[in-house]
Structure 1
Amino acid sequence: MLLPSLLAVLKVYYPVLLPLFLVSWLLYNKFHGGLNKYPGPSIAAYTNWWRFFDNLGRRTEYTHINLHRKYGDIVRLGPDCLSFADPKAIKIIYGLNKGFTKSDFYPVQNAVSKGRRVQSLFSTLNEAYHARYRRCVNSAFAMTSLVSYEPLIDSTMDAFLSQTQKLFANTGESCKFNKWLQYYAFDVIGEITWAKRLGFVERNEDVDGIIAFIDRFLSYAGPIGQMPVLDLLLEKNPIRLYCQRLGLSNTVFPVTAFAQARSAEREPEMAKIRANGLKDSPGRDKKGTDLLSKFVNAQHENPEFMTDMQVLASTVSMVFAGSETTAISLSAIFYYILKHPRVYRKLMAELDTAAQDGTIAPRDNLGVSWAETQKLPYLDAVIQESFRMHPAAGLCLERVVPKGGIDILGEHIPAGTIVGCNAWVLHRRPEIFGEDVDVYRPERWLEASEAQLRDMKGTMFQFGAGARTCIGKNISLMEVYKLVPSFLRRFEVDLEHPDRPWKTHNAWFVRQIDFNAKFRPRRPLQSV
């Protein structure tokens, strides 16, 4: 009796009740939790649609910088979302054992295989699961493991330098440098993960269209991640996933299929490792041990936890994050060097001096080893300043305040609130980096006192912070530090349009567009 009566009332009064419900919902969004005291765009307090449309504009990193410069250290970006600009917030939000978890932004980036989400270290919300998962694979990414990856990186770097010579330096052809660097990063990931270059550099093309897919997927994940419920209506629709599990649809994310195909090529070898573990041999040490072997060895050592799905998730993560962020960082470094001739000249003087005094050993391909790069202070300053000016991630790294709430920057933030910091904002703190924070000036890293340098390094956020720091950080750094000096010793580089700024596209990672360059062979000085 009650339900029919209620439906009858709704039928008569819905023209009044619907607007009343909408107004009540908007007012609740604005005032709940007391977040209305924090400044920000007016409409952002009422609905996350503001965040969605701002990210669709693909310039969110500058939106956040300008909002914090206008409103201060705490800005409200949504009904339940606060952005923090003070570096002191990093240790609270991302510190160990603080109880924060990742927000629903991250599962939007789950790959899908046979109707099931592929939970990765990056996207999982379960902190206990993450901790156990990370313990299984942590040794594969430790700084001490880098020695086993350098021969693999060298193999791809040799091919990349040779192809650059053949395709561009010898012909005078213009190069889409940002895309070319992405090909390099993908082939390095192939070499490190599967002990095989995937053909991006040799073929000078996007193999299997995987880069185009990742570009589309990240362009989807950025705005959809601002309103994750939309993902449940679109890519991760439960009905759609259920149909895939039943075999009514065989849709597989291209990046998942890509990783599965590469791993399948190594299955006989992996079966032995799965059964007996990874046994070192002189041949393996010389070649370098790839990540797939280490992931499967982790499966051998932790069979009750490290399943085939976890191994797949680990390789998928390498394709997703390992290539995109490194390519973005390399493009930024080369771009800023070329836009600042003074910096270019100073860096080349350091490289030539290091070659003359034996700091850099003579090699046929003019490559530079990882150990040698650690003795080049201006190279380090150039790379650090490029990381500062153009960190790969262009959105807040979101976390959810734990039960009971927590104090951040002297403010009590209620439980369930989404909080976070954006590297683009943190990297422009004048009290940390100097008043000229919008200027590219590598010398700041050499002029700083020991205390200042400690604060600067503690504020750098391009790899995140805390327990969820990018696990592939050390591999990415090796790729970057080796390629930049090796490339510059081998080629003279010029922007094709020096007076035209590049374009950027914030698809959650801020990738570059229209970064074209030309190369000429260079005869560098060698040691005497």
Structure 2
Amino acid sequence: MFLGALFAAVTTSAPAARSLLVYGVPGLVLLWQGGRLLSRLWREPRRLERALRAQGLRGTSYRFLTGDLREFGRLNKEAWARPPLPLGCHDIVPRVTPFLCGNVREHGKTCFSWFGPIPNVTITDPALVRDVLSNKFGHFGKPQFPALTKLLSDGLTSHEGEKWVRHRRILNPAFHLEKLRLMLPTFSACCEELVGRWAARCLGPDGGSCELDVWPELQALTGDVISRTAFGSSYLEGRRIFELQSEQAERFVGAIQKIVIPGYMYLPTKNNRRMRQINKEVNSILRGVVGKRMRAMAMREGGESTTGADDLLGLLLESNNTRHEGETGHGQQSALGMTIEDVIEECKLFYFAGMETTSVLLTWAMVLLSMHREWQDRAREEVTGLFGRDDNKPEYEGLSRLKTVNMILYETLRLYPPAVVFSRKAYKEMKVGGVTLPAGAIIEIPVLFIHHDPDTWGDDAHEFKPERFAEGVSRACNGASGAFIPFGWGPRTCIGQSFALLEAKMALCVILQRFEMELAPSYTHAPHTVMTLHPMHGAQIKLTAI
């Protein structure tokens, strides 16, 4: 009746009623939305903070809208501006994660901070870490920031539920042992090209030695490997993608600190515009690569494809023509394996992750072996004992018998893990370690801190001691299996773990066969994070041909 009267008043041009309709209703809507926003950005975080403190948990006080993001950024800048660490110092946690380090020191190993208005609970107990990463409680997933994630890669690592299961099942065959063995000749060829370039540089006037920054060199190597094994192309064809994805990763880190501002990613800021330009260019290049492969597959005239599904791209495209069993258990067919858009997003992920993780591992391994020459000598003795010198190429059986090299790689991953933190989100109210976490809370798993924790690893936790892995990972961390997690844990363990380790072993063996390494005078020890753990000023190493 009221609406009828209001309509009648408006249609008869009653000024007061028309003003109420034109100005009053939108004003009430804005007031209602403002109240909801105030509740989400102030009242709810304050309520959650009181609830966490009431359970005995300590942490920072909530600051309106930004939480601890501003302090996080300030401490990072201060840490990066400090003088480099002494050579041989591996106590890098205060420099690499200064905010976390200070929060744990002040509030304890289980504490909380604020990612904008979202509580961020840090856990360091290996048993709890294992439970969360294995999703033992059944309601933990990856934090989702769709507007931002899509600009870097909306691939396997960001999927949840049935989509994640389907994509993981499609991708798994590409990383089986028999596939990895077939990739070894490609690994070997890429490594030979790398050491060939280095050997040519060492033929100069310096008597068989040269100094170079191995960080970009190893990025080029791992980029070449992932291009050839995953996409059947050379590094030159993928170079532009690597450059763009590297820039996107740096911009991603800057943007994620502002994502808590409502609607921020839709603002026409310089950074947002550039991220969209990069995403558009990467998509265009990959669409061309995918289109070229699809045309080649369409032209085959029966029989086995000469383009094949042996590489990642072929496998993804084959999934477009294969229906997969649904999850209902009734034999029903689900949707097609992957759309072309899905394929492009997975390609973006593997172009970035396939290069980044292994190049970071190899870079820090070379730095550590240059600092600790006794381990370099032991590793070279093992490699030459198995494969000889010169042109004797490492093969799978020999690589699988490596022990010293394995210990060195594991200790490198412990001290300098590529990813320094993992995050999970509670999709419903959950109890973890006696603390009830609200739905939506983020659980922060500080990999670097856990890997350096003396309570697990002993008083020598900050020392480079590969021998701690002589009897396996479990003995190294005193049975605390959630304490060594460079590739994650549980069902979401990095799908490329075996690929990365096999590639790293091959590369390190080939390098040790040909060169002795020592730190160059220009090297400064300043680890810091972009998305992974980089050497801030490069990794300058003096190579001497053997």
TM range (shorter): 0.7 to 0.9
More moved, 216-225 vs 481-490: 216-225
User: Structure 1, residues 13-37: CA drift from partner, whole Å, max 9, x if none?
Assistant: xxxxx9xx97995464233261345
Following superposition, the deviation at residue 222 of structure 1 comes to 2.1
Match of 2:121 in 1: 82
User: Which residue of 380, 383, 391 corresponds with 1:351?
Assistant: 383
Counterparts in 2 of 1:375-386, with a 5 A limit? 375-386=401-412
Does structure 1 residue 35 correspond to structure 2 residue 52?
Answer: yes
Match of 2:180 in 1: 146
Contact between 2:71 and 2:99, CA under 8 Å: does it hold in 1?
no
Secondary structure of 2:524 counterpart: coil
Match of 2:91 in 1: none
Match of 2:286 in 1: 259
Match of 2:316 in 1: 295
Following superposition, the deviation at residue 392 of structure 1 comes to 0.7
Following superposition, the deviation at residue 372 of structure 1 comes to 1.4
Structure 2 letter corresponding to 1:300? N
Secondary structure of 1:110 counterpart: helix
Does structure 1 residue 368 correspond to structure 2 residue 394?
Answer: yes
Structure 2 CA distance for aligned equivalents of residues 225 and 326 of structure 1: 24
Do the aligned partners of residues 170 and 147 (structure 1) sit closer, same or farther apart at CA in structure 2, a change above 3 Å counting? Answer: farther
Structure 2 CA distance for aligned equivalents of residues 147 and 104 of structure 1: 35
Structure 2 CA distance for aligned equivalents of residues 176 and 449 of structure 1: 31
Does structure 1 residue 326 correspond to structure 2 residue 363?
Answer: no
Match of 2:427 in 1: 402
Contact between 1:430 and 1:437, CA under 8 Å: does it hold in 2?
yes
Structure 2 CA distance for aligned equivalents of residues 449 and 420 of structure 1: 23
Structure 1 CA distance for aligned equivalents of residues 530 and 262 of structure 2: 16
Contact between 2:156 and 2:346, CA under 8 Å: does it hold in 1?
yes
User: Which residue of 213, 216, 231 corresponds with 2:244?
Assistant: 213
Match of 1:159 in 2: 193
More moved, 87-96 vs 250-259: 250-259
Match of 1:505 in 2: 528
Structure 1 CA distance for aligned equivalents of residues 355 and 283 of structure 2: 15
Match of 1:15 in 2: none
Counterparts in 2 of 1:411-450, with a 5 A limit? 411-446=435-470
User: Which residue of 199, 222, 225 corresponds with 1:185?
Assistant: 222
Following superposition, the deviation at residue 54 of structure 1 comes to 5.0
Do the aligned partners of residues 268 and 67 (structure 1) sit closer, same or farther apart at CA in structure 2, a change above 3 Å counting? Answer: same
Do the aligned partners of residues 430 and 160 (structure 1) sit closer, same or farther apart at CA in structure 2, a change above 3 Å counting? Answer: same
Contact between 2:365 and 2:412, CA under 8 Å: does it hold in 1?
yes
Secondary structure of 1:175 counterpart: strand
Secondary structure of 1:199 counterpart: helix
Corresponding residue pairs, total: 481
Structure 2 CA distance for aligned equivalents of residues 220 and 239 of structure 1: 12
Structure 2 letter corresponding to 1:340? H
Contact between 1:174 and 1:518, CA under 8 Å: does it hold in 2?
yes
Secondary structure of 2:516 counterpart: strand
Structure 2 CA distance for aligned equivalents of residues 290 and 227 of structure 1: 38
Structure 2 letter corresponding to 1:311? V
Contact between 2:76 and 2:97, CA under 8 Å: does it hold in 1?
no
Match of 2:264 in 1: 233
Do the aligned partners of residues 239 and 345 (structure 1) sit closer, same or farther apart at CA in structure 2, a change above 3 Å counting? Answer: closer
Following superposition, the deviation at residue 310 of structure 1 comes to 1.8
User: Structure 1, residues 239-280: CA drift from partner, whole Å, max 9, x if none?
Assistant: 99xx9xxxxx9874443334334434434333358x97x948
Contact between 1:393 and 1:510, CA under 8 Å: does it hold in 2?
yes
Contact between 1:370 and 1:482, CA under 8 Å: does it hold in 2?
no
Following superposition, the deviation at residue 419 of structure 1 comes to 0.8
Following superposition, the deviation at residue 122 of structure 1 comes to 1.5
Contact between 2:175 and 2:499, CA under 8 Å: does it hold in 1?
yes
Secondary structure of 2:466 counterpart: coil
Do the aligned partners of residues 7 and 290 (structure 1) sit closer, same or farther apart at CA in structure 2, a change above 3 Å counting? Answer: closer
User: Which residue of 101, 104, 109 corresponds with 2:149?
Assistant: 109
Contact between 1:152 and 1:191, CA under 8 Å: does it hold in 2?
yes
User: Structure 1, residues 451-510: CA drift from partner, whole Å, max 9, x if none?
Assistant: 555736542221122222221112111111111121011111221127x53333312212
Following superposition, the deviation at residue 133 of structure 1 comes to 1.4
Does structure 1 residue 122 correspond to structure 2 residue 161?
Answer: no
Q: When the two structures are superposed, what TM-score results if normalisation uses the length of structure 1?
A: 0.79
Contact between 1:137 and 1:298, CA under 8 Å: does it hold in 2?
no
Does structure 1 residue 136 correspond to structure 2 residue 152?
Answer: no
Structure 1 letter corresponding to 2:394? V
Secondary structure of 2:122 counterpart: strand
Unaligned segments of structure 2, at least 5 residues: 1-19, 29-33, 81-94, 324-334
More moved, 376-385 vs 58-67: 58-67
Contact between 2:121 and 2:442, CA under 8 Å: does it hold in 1?
yes
Following superposition, the deviation at residue 321 of structure 1 comes to 1.0
Structure 2 CA distance for aligned equivalents of residues 272 and 96 of structure 1: 45
Structure 2 CA distance for aligned equivalents of residues 220 and 251 of structure 1: 10
Secondary structure of 1:184 counterpart: helix
Following superposition, the deviation at residue 55 of structure 1 comes to 7.9
Secondary structure of 2:130 counterpart: helix
Structure 1 letter corresponding to 2:365? I
Structure 2 CA distance for aligned equivalents of residues 145 and 24 of structure 1: 49
Following superposition, the deviation at residue 328 of structure 1 comes to 0.8
Does structure 1 residue 311 correspond to structure 2 residue 343?
Answer: yes
Contact between 2:469 and 2:476, CA under 8 Å: does it hold in 1?
no
Structure 2 CA distance for aligned equivalents of residues 385 and 265 of structure 1: 42
Contact between 1:82 and 1:417, CA under 8 Å: does it hold in 2?
yes
Match of 1:222 in 2: 253
Structure 1 CA distance for aligned equivalents of residues 257 and 119 of structure 2: 11
Structure 2 letter corresponding to 1:298? S
Secondary structure of 2:125 counterpart: coil
Following superposition, the deviation at residue 155 of structure 1 comes to 2.0
Following superposition, the deviation at residue 139 of structure 1 comes to 1.2
User: Which residue of 330, 338, 342 corresponds with 2:370?
Assistant: 338
Identity of aligned residues (%): 19
User: Which residue of 67, 72, 75 corresponds with 2:108?
Assistant: 72
User: Which residue of 387, 405, 412 corresponds with 2:413?
Assistant: 387
Following superposition, the deviation at residue 185 of structure 1 comes to 0.8
Structure 1 letter corresponding to 2:408? V
Structure 1 CA distance for aligned equivalents of residues 134 and 411 of structure 2: 25
Structure 2 CA distance for aligned equivalents of residues 454 and 373 of structure 1: 27
